[in-house]
Amino acid sequence: MKRRSFLKSTLVASAAGVAVTSGILGSSNVFAASVVGADLAKAKSVDEILTMLGAADAAESDKIKIKAPEIAENGAVVPVGITSEIEGTTEIISLTAANPTPFAARYMIGEGAEAAVKSRFKMGMTTDVIAIVKAGDKFYTAKTNVKVTKGGCGG
């Protein structure tokens, strides 16, 4: 990462943090604004998100690894890791298919960075965790099923 890009990103993040803390911006406004090019957080289905991204024809890939528990005893906090071995990965998008809003996270991967992310998601019920990877102008996908036994979004 170039020094100017780093400083610019740091300044933007700091300003957004100050705006949220002072109440000028609500956190949902910052979150929605941070989604580049589309308001994925408002989408109600996986198909809608894929259409918004232009990834409706994403190819399945075994070079995308999703590490998530087969059974999550508490749906309120489900650890998920996604790794892409696809050359030139620039984005990783996480979806939880059965949640009321399936968009979970979007990560931008810098040049030369390892394409690996980890998060904790809230899942209301048993669902597929879907990873969408962008490399160049193409999208790739992989999914795994997580069985939720209690808690989560719905109870």
Domain ranges of the chain: 1-34, 43-148
CB proximity list for 5: less than 8 A, separation 6 or greater? none
Q: pLDDT per residue over 48-96, tens digit each?
A: 999 999 999 999 999 999 999 999 988 889 999 999 999 999 999 999 9
Determine the Cα–Cα distance for residues 74 and 80; give it in Å rounded to an integer. Answer: 13
Q: CATH for 43-148, among 1.10.1740.10, 2.60.40.2470, 3.30.70.20, 1.10.730.10?
A: 2.60.40.2470
Determine the Cα–Cα distance for residues 119 and 131; give it in Å rounded to an integer. Answer: 12
Whether the model pTM is above 0.75: no
Average pLDDT in the chain:
82
